[in-house]
Structure 1
């Protein structure tokens, strides 16, 4: 466990930020490898080599910690998707294709990310609430891209397609991570794009 000398010379605010980051990193490892049941105050403190009192310095309980883990992974995913889409350029079709590839690629590059974002988020109410917000953000993105690509399509059809795609994206990611869709990411992405933009 940590000793007082570990933080010698480090400003108080920086100490707290560093300890919080250590706890989040430890919880990510435990949660990503063993699921929610692997995360407890004791296991997180052991993994991060911090005293229990430092846990409560940053978090009220493990649910709050898991929420922070989800937020960090989701922020990293959003940054990756935005970076890839910006680099790709092009029209709505290319951006959509790039975005789907970025989501699946980000998740499979480190399967722990996929577990945090898609698998375990179904059961825990804190994570489920965050997932709902993330899905709404995705739905808005799909609406925007589809309306740009298919401006003459009935609005209701666009809303239905966006709603169905948003719900299916999490399942798509889970099936991709489990290996049930094969290993050809390009083919998976193309089929997913056609569900949103069926005329392409």
Structure 2
């Protein structure tokens, strides 16, 4: 007969492994690549929910597997650890936002002020429409090395996009001054988003967009 300690240990292992799947699983007949892709997507979605509602402390292998209804072995099939998983969550949310911007900016035309307004509104609206997105992109786990690296890369990408915009609308602009302006714009946008999401700027999105656009347009005024 197993001892009490052995029984507890077995229970803990079973809990970590996740819920047992039936003999005929949902994966029967599904190609391996599709199975792996679906399991990965479920883990990312579960981590997005946990991180977006509980913060980094809520994201553990056990919690993610439980929320995704998957065995722990499927976690390690896709991710080395929770840091790598959080990186995938960030990439997914950032990709969703990036997918919105081209059409929004195109609709704004060539007027630089309109494009700035459209970009600011899209970022703030996207981030606050689902608070989980904002926590992932701007306000949570600022000490997490994986997310720090992702956010730095995202800021660099935003700065490059601003520089391309400046080249498009003002091809004769001084490259050095354009880069200074792009750096200021990028840093201001990150802080603006953080303040908006924490409620520090009130709840009038139109007013925030208009005021921010007027201030952020200044470096590009000719």
| Common topology (TM > 0.5) | yes
Larger gyration radius, structure 1 or structure 2: 2
Q: Measure the CA separation in 2 of the matches of 1:145 and 1:42.
A: 45
Q: Measure the CA separation in 1 of the matches of 2:74 and 2:20.
A: 10
Cα distance change on mapping 1:145 and 1:196 into 2, 3 Å: farther
2:81 is aligned with 1:58: no
Query: Is contact 2:137-2:151 (8 Å) kept?
Result: yes
Cα distance change on mapping 1:187 and 1:154 into 2, 3 Å: farther
2:38 is aligned with 1:48: no
1:87: Cα distance to partner?
Answer: 3.2
Moved more, 79-88 or 141-150: 141-150
Bigger fraction of residues in helix = 1
Match of 2:191 in 1: 171
Match of 2:150 in 1: 130
Unmatched segments (≥5 aa) in structure 2? 1-18
1:159: Cα distance to partner?
Answer: 2.4
For 1:13, which of 24, 29, 33 is the aligned residue?
Answer: 33
Q: Measure the CA separation in 1 of the matches of 2:20 and 2:101.
A: 37
Match of 1:187 in 2: 207
Query: Is contact 2:55-2:141 (8 Å) kept?
Result: no
* Root mean square deviation of aligned Cα: 1.9
Runs of 4+ displaced beyond 6 Å: none
Q: Deviations over 1:144-179 (max 9, x none)?
A: 334444556654443222212211211111111122
TM-score (norm 2): 0.83
Moved more, 107-116 or 78-87: 78-87
TM-score (norm 1): 0.91
Match of 2:97 in 1: 77
Unmatched segments (≥5 aa) in structure 1? none
Cα distance change on mapping 1:165 and 1:112 into 2, 3 Å: same
Q: Measure the CA separation in 1 of the matches of 2:202 and 2:151.
A: 26
Q: Measure the CA separation in 2 of the matches of 1:75 and 1:163.
A: 21
1:45: Cα distance to partner?
Answer: 0.2
